[in-house]
C-alpha cells in the first residue's frame, strides 16, 4: 500500500534560510546593485525586480579535481562517422567550443557568473540599510496596506458562516422539482387517504405508493452538496485616494553630482512612502534656475543648464500646475524641494509669500532639503547660510509656523530620513 502525501499546500520556502545565507554572502554586490539602481533607474521603477549580478569568484566551492586539459587521455565518444584507427584529427584552438577537446569538463560544474533577482522587500532592506534609516521608518515603509473583505460572487465551498441560504435553497428547490422529489405534504396526503381507506386493494396500492414515495424522498436529499452556495469574499485594498508629488530642484551650476544623488534618494524615499499610502501617484518634476520649467525625469536629474537661482519661479510654476491639473478636493498634494540654499537677493520675500499664502494651505506635507557642501569650510558656510542670499532662514521660519512643513540640512545621504521623521511618526 502506497502512502501518498500532498505537499502542495506546504508553503514553499524551505530554502528561504539558505537563500538568506546566500544573500548575506552577496551583500556587497547587492548593495552595489541597489546603489546603481537608485542612481540609474527612474524613481517609479526602482526596486521592481532588481537584477543582481553575483561574481562567481566569491561563491566558488573549490575541490581537488583533475584538470582535463593536462596529461594524456584516451576517451570514448558516440557517433563515429568516417574515422579509421590511426586517423589524425586537428585539435580545435583553445580546446574549442563544444567539441572533443572540452568534453572532459562536461559534467564538471562550470562556474559562471550568475544573475538573480531580489524581491522588492529585500531591495528596500538593503536600500534602507544603506541610508541608515531608523527602525520605525523601516517598519512603516514595509507595512502592508490594510485590506477589507469585499463580496466577489459565489463559490461552492466555504465556511458555514458564509453560506448563502437564498441561493442554496434556490438550487435545492429546482433540483427537487427536476427530480420529482415527493413533498412532505404529498406523503401526508397519502397517509390520510390510507387511514381513511377501507378497500383492501386500495390499501395495498396506497401502502406501496407510500413506501415508494418515502424511499424516493430518502434517495433524493432535501439539500444536496451540489446545492450549497457560499458567499465569496476577497480581500480588497481599502479605497485609497490619489496623490501628486512635486519634485522641485534648483539645477543651477552650484548643484553638482553629489547633490543630485542625494536629491534623488530624497525624492525616492518620499515616493516609496506615498506608494504605500496612495493607489495612484503622479510625479511632476520642476526644475529652476532663474526661470522654472517642467521636465521629464531624465532631464530633471541629468540635464544641465546654467544660470542663477530664483526659487520663487519654481514655486509659482507649481502653483499654476496645481491650479490647472489638480483640484485640491481630489488630490493629496506633496512637495519635496531641494537646493543648495543659494537664492537671489530679495527673492526670499516672494518665496515666503507664495509658500505662506498659496502652497502650504493646500498641501499635505512639504519638505525642503538643503544640501550643504562637504568641502566648504565652516566660516564660509556660516556667512553664506545666514546671509540674505540664503533661503534657509525663510524656510526654517515657515517650518516652525506650519505643522505640515519640515526642513533639514544635510551633507550626506544618510541624513535624509530625518526630514520624514514627522511623516512616519504618525
Partner 1 sequence: MTLLFENADWTPEILERIYEECCRIGEEELKLTWYPNQFEIVSYENMLDVYSSVGMPMMYNHWSFGKSFINNSELYKAGKMGLALEMVLNTNPCVNYLMDENTATAQALVIAHAAIGHNSFFKNNYLFKQWTSADSIIDYLGFAKKYIAQCEEQYGIDEVEKILDAAHSLMDHSVDMYTKPKILSAREEREKQKMRDAAHEANYDELWSLIPNTKRAAELPTNRFLPNGPEENLLYFLEKNSPILKSWQREILRIVRKIASYYRPQAMSKTINEGWASTCHYYIMTRLHEKGLIDDGSFLEFIKLHTSVVFQPEYDSKYFSGFNPYHLGFSIFADMKRMSQNPTEEDRLWFPDYAGGNWVENWHYMYQEFRDDGLIQQFLSPKVMRDMKLFSFDNRENSRFYKIADIGNESGYKNIRNSLAYETSIGYRSADIQITDVDFNTRTCILTNFTSNNIMLDESTANKTLDYFRELWGFKVVLVTVDRQSNFELDRLETD
Which residues sit at the interface with partner 1, rule CB under 8 A?
A: 2-8, 10, 12-15, 17-25, 59-81, 83-91, 98-101, 103-104, 106-107, 114-117
If the CB atoms of residues 5 and 165 are measured against partner 1, the closer one turns out to be: 5
If the CB atoms of residues 90 and 218 are measured against partner 1, the closer one turns out to be: 90
CA neighbours closer than 13 Å in the CB half-sphere of residue 401: 12
**Could you count the other beta carbons within 10 Å of the beta carbon of residue 21?**
11
In whole angstroms, the minimum distance from the beta carbon of 28 to partner 1 comes to: 14
CA neighbours closer than 13 Å in the CB half-sphere of residue 346: 0
If the CB atoms of residues 96 and 149 are measured against partner 1, the closer one turns out to be: 96
DSSP secondary structure of 325-351: H--TTTEEEEEEEEE-SB--TTHHHHH
Which CA distances in Å does 171 have to 152, 161, 327? Answer: 19, 18, 50
In whole angstroms, the minimum distance from the beta carbon of 129 to partner 1 comes to: 18
In whole angstroms, the minimum distance from the beta carbon of 115 to partner 1 comes to: 7
Cell (9 digits) for 23 = 544573500
If the CB atoms of residues 15 and 192 are measured against partner 1, the closer one turns out to be: 15
Cell (9 digits) for 271 = 515616493
If the CB atoms of residues 50 and 259 are measured against partner 1, the closer one turns out to be: 50
In whole angstroms, the minimum distance from the beta carbon of 47 to partner 1 comes to: 18
If the CB atoms of residues 104 and 308 are measured against partner 1, the closer one turns out to be: 104
Answer whether 266's CB lies under 8 Å from 336's CB: yes
If the CB atoms of residues 24 and 219 are measured against partner 1, the closer one turns out to be: 24
Answer whether 406's CB lies under 8 Å from 365's CB: yes
* Spatial separation of the C-alpha atoms in residues 163 and 225, rounded to whole Å: 12
In whole angstroms, the minimum distance from the beta carbon of 227 to partner 1 comes to: 24
In whole angstroms, the minimum distance from the beta carbon of 58 to partner 1 comes to: 10
- The torsion angle over the Cα atoms of residues 189, 194, 195 and 201, rounded to 10 degrees, is 160
Name 409's bridge partners: 370
In whole angstroms, the minimum distance from the beta carbon of 158 to partner 1 comes to: 22
Name 280's bridge partners: 242
Amino acid at each position: 500500500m502506497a502512502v501518498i502525501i500532498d505537499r502542495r499546500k506546504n508553503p514553499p520556502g524551505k530554502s528561504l534560510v539558505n537563500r538568506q545565507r546566500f544573500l548575506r554572502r552577496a551583500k556587497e554586490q547587492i548593495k552595489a546593485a541597489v546603489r546603481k539602481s537608485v542612481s540609474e533607474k527612474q524613481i517609479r521603477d526602482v526596486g521592481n525586480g532588481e537584477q543582481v549580478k553575483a561574481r562567481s569568484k566569491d561563491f566558488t566551492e573549490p575541490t581537488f579535481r583533475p584538470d582535463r586539459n593536462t596529461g594524456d587521455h584516451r576517451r570514448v565518444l558516440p557517433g563515429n562517422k568516417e574515422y579509421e584507427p590511426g586517423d589524425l584529427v586537428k585539435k580545435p584552438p583553445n580546446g574549442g567550443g563544444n567539441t572533443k577537446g572540452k568534453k572532459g569538463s562536461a559534467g564538471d560544474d562550470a562556474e559562471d557568473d550568475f544573475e538573480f533577482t531580489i524581491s522588492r522587500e529585500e531591495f528596500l532592506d538593503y536600500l534602507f540599510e544603506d541610508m541608515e534609516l531608523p527602525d520605525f521608518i523601516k517598519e512603516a515603509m514595509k507595512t502592508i496596506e490594510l485590506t477589507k473583505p469585499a463580496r466577489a460572487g459565489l463559490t461552492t465551498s466555504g465556511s458555514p458562516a458564509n453560506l448563502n441560504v437564498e441561493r442554496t435553497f434556490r438550487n435545492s428547490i429546482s433540483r427537487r422539482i427536476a427530480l420529482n422529489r415527493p413533498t412532505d405534504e404529498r406523503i401526508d396526503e397519502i397517509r390520510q387517504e390510507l387511514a381513511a381507506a377501507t378497500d383492501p386493494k386500495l390499501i395495498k396500492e396506497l401502502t406501496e405508493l407510500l413506501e415508494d414515495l418515502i424511499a424516493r424522498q430518502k434517495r433524493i436529499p432535501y439539500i444536496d452538496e451540489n446545492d450549497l452556495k457560499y458567499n465569496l469574499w476577497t480581500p480588497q485594498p481599502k479605497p485609497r485616494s490619489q496623490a501628486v508629488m512635486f519634485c522641485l530642484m534648483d539645477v543651477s551650476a552650484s548643484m553638482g553630482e553629489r547633490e543630485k544623488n542625494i536629491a534623488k534618494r530624497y525624492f525616492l524615499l518620499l515616493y516609496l512612502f506615498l506608494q504605500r499610502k496612495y493607489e495612484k501617484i503622479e510625479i511632476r518634476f520642476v526644475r529652476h534656475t532663474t526661470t522654472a520649467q517642467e521636465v521629464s525625469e531624465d532631464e530633471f536629474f541629468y540635464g544641465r543648464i546654467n544660470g542663477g537661482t530664483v526659487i520663487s519661479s519654481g514655486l509659482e510654476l507649481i502653483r499654476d500646475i496645481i491650479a490647472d491639473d489638480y483640484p485640491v478636493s481630489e488630490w493629496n498634494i506633496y512637495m519635496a524641494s531641494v537646493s543648495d540654499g543659494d537664492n537671489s537677493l530679495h527673492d526670499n520675500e516672494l518665496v515666503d509669500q507664495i509658500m505662506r499664502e498659496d502652497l502650504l494651505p493646500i498641501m499635505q506635507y512639504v519638505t525642503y532639503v538643503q544640501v550643504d557642501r562637504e568641502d566648504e569650510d565652516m566660516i564660509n558656510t556660516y556667512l553664506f547660510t545666514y546671509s540674505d542670499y540664503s533661503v534657509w532662514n525663510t524656510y526654517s521660519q515657515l517650518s516652525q509656523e506650519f505643522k505640515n512643513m519640515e526642513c533639514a540640512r544635510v551633507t550626506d545621504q544618510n541624513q535624509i530620513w530625518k526630514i520624514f521623521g514627522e511623516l512616519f511618526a504618525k
